[in-house]
């Protein structure tokens, strides 16, 4: 994520935590564990957005760049929320089917 390089190390821990929690949850192999770690990632996304807002207020980062990263973080958070629903079985994923043409 590009926000790691914006301010070092202010939001770096939260940004890396998003990725690390996704990886850890997927490595555990169970949908329930995956969902739990996706929740942790979503929380870290909120933490990152908050830290970027603070960085703007105290003048540590360019406002335009930070607002762009906040928007990306919010989009990521929405994607995580959708994935959590899938992992928890709230949303049914249709299996991909291939139906060959009949001659």
pLDDT value of position 26: 92
Res 3: pLDDT: 47
Domains of the chain by start residue, with CATH: 2-87 (1.20.1440.60)
User: Rounded to two decimals, what is the model's pTM?
Assistant: 0.75
User: 89-92, long-range: CB within 8 Å, 24+ apart, which pairs?
Assistant: 89/31
pLDDT digit string (tens) for the chain, length 103 residues: 454 444 456 678 888 999 999 999 999 988 899 999 999 999 999 999 999 999 999 999 999 999 999 999 999 999 999 999 998 887 655 665 666 667 6
Cα atoms in the Cβ-side hemisphere of radius 13 Å centred on 65: 11
Distances (CA, A) of 91 to 36, 58, 84, 86, 95: 16, 41, 9, 5, 12
Tell me the C-alpha distance between 93 and 87, whole Å.
Answer: 10
């Amino acid at each position: 994520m590009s926000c790691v390089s914006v301010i070092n190390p202010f939001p770096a821990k939260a940004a890396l935590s998003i990725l690390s929690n996704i990886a850890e949850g997927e490595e555990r192999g169970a949908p329930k564990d995956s969902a739990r770690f996706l929740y942790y990632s979503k929380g870290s996304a909120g933490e990152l957005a908050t830290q970027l807002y603070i960085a703007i207020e105290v003048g540590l980062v360019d406002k335009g760049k930070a607002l762009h990263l906040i928007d990306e973080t919010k989009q990521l958070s929405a994607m995580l929320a959708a994935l959590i629903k899938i992992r928890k079985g709230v949303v049914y994923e249709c299996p991909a089917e291939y139906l060959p043409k009949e001659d």
